[in-house]
Structure 1
Amino acid sequence: GIRLHFPALVRGLTVQSAAKAQLGLGHSYSRAKVKFNVHRVDNMIIQSISLLDQLDKDINTFSMRVRSWYGYHFPELIKIVPENSMYCRVAKFIGNRRELSEESLEGLEEIVMDSAKAQAILEASRSSMGMDISPLDLINIESFSRRVISLSDYRKGLQEYLRSKMSQVAPSLSALIGEVVGARLISHAGSLTNLAKYPASTVQILGAEKALFRALKTRGNTPKYGLIFHSTFIGRAAAKNKGRISRYLANKCTIASRIDCFSEVPTSVFGDKLREQVEERLAFYETGEPPRKNLEVMKEAVVEANEVVAEVKRRQEKKEKKRKKREKRRLEALAAAAEEPEENSVMETEENDVGAKKKKKKKKQQPEESEAEPEPEENGVEEE
């Protein structure tokens, strides 16, 4: 009732003014929600990791197509060069195997990075059981290999881009579990904020929802890990300790994601310390050596993080001072450029005034001279 009849209960408050106040409040709330730092946008990470996974599938499919296509001509090369991208480079370099000679050995060594493997390719080409190939087929195979190589190079650049974005958005999470696995966690959660809100038990089985619901439906054993299975820690742990280390790792991932999400200046200090804790826990499971207490590790991390944050803020202040100096110089240059036309116009007006005065003086001097010219004639007449 009070909310409905509030304008009638408060003196001087009209319905129109209340509507304006509500509109202003809505605008300020929306402005606060939209305001963000462009360097900490996790949407780019989600798109990048999705594209990276898609590129992995496509490159694998296309490389297998190159293998099967070029394998008709040089089938022995598949066993010598098992790596997909390198196989495409070698196939593009060799072309027709009958043209491969000792002179091409140096170029092969640069591609395969192994002199013994290059020599094996050369010997296999001389005694290959493959069929002959026409120049037109060879042109198409080389063109397709070139496309696969360009995709592979683009994937490397995309992975570097993802690494740089993760170091800006979630440095602790990437230092703890790796850039690719951390990006997959963020992508599966929807955003870094959503990941920070998840409990450790949810992070542990993130990516294994189907197995979880199937286990709940059949009343079987629930999965012990999801996306974090791709971490190196779980692969290094013994079979009996995989569940324990996955639970511990999920706990540390939750802490790292919350630190990255809610800290003003994110650093990788906490991620490095959390990684050390996971390493110590792995050693504890294997050797029984007791790890350090969490309180001691976090105290060290806080001290180091404060030093890093102070250094970052100092650099930002220097950059801001330099930016202000550049802006000041630019404004001074603009002001000086604006004053120059005014001075030129003043000089032109002064020159025009001086020129007009000179013209007037010349005009005055001309009648005087014309009046002074007949005098000698009169004098001459009088003298005559």
Structure 2
Amino acid sequence: MHFLFKLMTYLKTKWFGVFLYDEEKIKDKKLFPKEPDEIAEKIYLMQKGGVLEEEEYFKKHKPVVDDERLSSIGKIGKVKKLYVMGKEFGYDNDLLRKACIKLAMRKIREEQEKRERRITEAVETLDDIIKVTNILLERMRSWYDYFSFEGGDIEDVLAIKVGDKKLDKIEEENIKNLAKLIVSLQKARKDIENYIKKTMEEMAPNVSNIAGAMISARLIARAGGIDKLAMFPAGTIQLLGAERALFRHLKDGTPPPKHGIIFQHEMIKKAPKEKRGKIARLLATKISIAAKADAFTKNFIANELKKEMMEKYEEIIKSKEK
């Protein structure tokens, strides 16, 4: 009597293709295109837990697989080691190197985008904290005015003595709790500002050095990322944050805005009103160049840009031309 033994079929994915094989030989294969971008894309998909179409092709064979990612393709089990090299099929190490570089660059971009989104959240949170703190400070001082016509700062409120009656003590506790809440919000504001500063120094050292960490963070948040900011012309950067004023100008014919977010920069704020437009253009131009360096070349050029900017700034300030 003769017995027929069916050999186990295995499935294994290498960086250059997918192989179906048994104990004796490779039965079938699906090789990847010899393009770094496509190989990088397939490796990326696998690392994310996805199943490749080349792997799906072998599902009908119900192979044994050793990767949980492929549990929908075959049965999880011990897989016979597959001894196969890329060069046997014309895939050299240079192709692998290029694919790995593409993959690494994609991951860096993704991480940067995540960081940029978190910076946007931090900036918006900071704005909310500032707004709420100002409202509560005004309310606290208004409340404190019932007991004193002087002071009204946190220290004054924390030292207040309302009275000895039960309601007085409750009121005193409430106003002091309000002061403590404001103190905690001020601490949160400082912590977030420090986080933004450190992040901007790492993410956009050139822009941060030229415009300051907070202005840089607001520009990047408004633009939607450092890459997008780098693609904006200087004129757009100059007016980022002034969209409402620009809309009013276009709709109602009001004077056009000369600057947006960058108005917060000391160079513009301290300049004579008639020279702010020129200084805003100067700053926006340098920010545009700095953003391109941060997004693309990664070269630190802020010192040279700042030197050029300050020289031009002095010229504008000293100029009698309005």
| TM-score, normalised via structure 1 length | 0.54
> CA separation of 1:48/1:25 partners in 2, compared to 1, >3 Å: closer, same or farther?
closer
Equivalent residue runs for 1:115-264 within 5 Å: 134-218=168-252, 221-264=255-298
**Which of 313, 316, 322 does residue 282 from structure 1 map onto?**
313
**Structure 1 residues 148 and 24, CA gap change in structure 2 (3 angstroms):** same
| CA deviation profile, 1:121-180 (whole Å, cap 9, x unmatched) | xxxxxxxxxxx9711111111122111111111111111111111111111111111111
Aligned to 1:89: 155
1:62 is displaced (CA, Å) by 1.2
Equivalent-residue separation in structure 2 for 1:246 and 1:172 (angstroms): 17
- Unmatched segments (≥5 aa) in structure 1: 1-15, 79-86, 100-131, 290-384
Return the offset for 1:17: 4.5
CA distance in 2, matches of 1:285, 1:253: 18
Task: Supply the distance in 2 between the matched residues of 1:25 and 1:256 (Cα, whole angstroms).
Answer: 30
**How many positions carry a matched residue from both structures?**
230
In structure 1, give the amino acid aligned to 2:258.
Answer: K
TM superposition shift of 1:43: 2.3
Give, as a single letter, the amino acid of the residue that structure 1 aligns with 2:315. F
- Aligned partners of 2:317 and 2:227: how far apart in 1? 35
Identity of aligned residues (%): 30
Deviations 1:218-264 (A, max 9, x none): 45543221111111111222222211111111110101111111234
CA distance in 2, matches of 1:212, 1:199: 16
> Which residue in 2 is equivalent to 1:381?
none
**140, 149, 159: which one pairs with 1:66?**
140
Partner of residue 27, structure 1: 42
Return the letter of the residue paired with 1:66.
M
Name the TM-score, length of structure 2 as normaliser.
0.63
Mapped partners of 1:98, 1:189: distance in 2:
54
Cα displacement string for residues 168-211 of structure 1 (whole angstroms, at most 9, x for unaligned residues): 11111111111111111001001111101111111111111222
Bigger radius of gyration, 1 or 2? 1
Distance (Å, rounded) in 1 between the aligned partners of 2:250 and 2:138: 39
Q: 1:39 to 1:202 in 2, by over 3 A?
A: closer
RMSD of aligned alpha carbons: 3.0
Alpha-carbon offset, residue 288 of structure 1? 4.7
Q: State the 1:275 CA deviation.
A: 2.5
Unaligned stretches of 5+ residues in structure 2: 1-28, 46-102
Determine if contact 1:166/1:174 at 8 Å carries over to the other structure. Answer: yes
What is the identity, as a one-letter code, of the residue corresponding to 1:71?
A: D
* Larger RCO of the pair (alpha carbons < 8 Å, separation 6+): 1
Cα separation, partners in 2 of 1:280 and 1:74, compared to 1, 3 Å: same
Would the aligned equivalents of 1:237 and 1:282 in 2 still touch at CA under 8 Å? no
Match of 1:316 in 2: none
CA distance 1:216–1:143, change in 2 (3 Å): closer
Q: How far apart are the structure 2 equivalents of 1:223 and 1:50?
A: 23
